[in-house]
Amino acid sequence: MGGKKKKVRVLMVCLGNICRSPTAHGVFQHRIESAGLEEIIKVDSAGTGDYHVGEKPDKRARTAAKRRGYSLGGLRARQVQAEDFERFDYILAMDDNNLRDLTTLCPKPFRHKLKLLMDFADNNYSAVPDPYYGKGDAFELVLNLVEEASNALLEHIKTHDLNG
């Protein structure tokens, strides 16, 4: 990876930015740091709704993440802003409903940046299911899916964005 290194910015998006997207944010941040790429790859998270702006991630999400060595404590919910569509290279929705909402909000020249996070995973899930009303292991499933997708996303970025 010689020459000038391009910065890559990734935005994880769910509905309220208190469960899935902060979990994805924390897991992907950990992957970036483990790879020594924190100066090159930046990650953030946001919600399509404004229900929880300013709040910490859901306690169950923080607890499940902490058990696996991820920290979500410093994150605060925010809503997707118009400038996010220009600023981020990858805008990754957790499910089809959020992808549809993002597509509605996103100016046409930036729609190519919109994808589902699970597009990067090799499993039978097309979406990260919302654990908010689920049973206790719902947050573990979110972590399993997000970990797999984060690994593949990092490899994709290293191959397609950092080697060019």
62 is catalytic: no
User: Strand pairing of 114-116 and 41-47?
Assistant: unpaired
The pair of structure tokens assigned to 70 is 């991820």
Active-site hit among 9, 19, 20, 161 = 20
Q: How far apart are CA 71 and CA 61, in angstroms?
A: 10
3-state secondary structure at position 29: helix
Active-site hit among 44, 58, 101, 130 = 130
Q: How far apart are CA 126 and CA 3, in angstroms?
A: 37
20 is catalytic: yes
The pair of structure tokens assigned to 60 is 């169950």
> What long-range pairs does 107-114 form, CB within 8 A, spacing at least 24?
110/85, 110/86, 113/85, 113/88, 113/89
122 is catalytic: no
Active site residues: 14, 20, 130
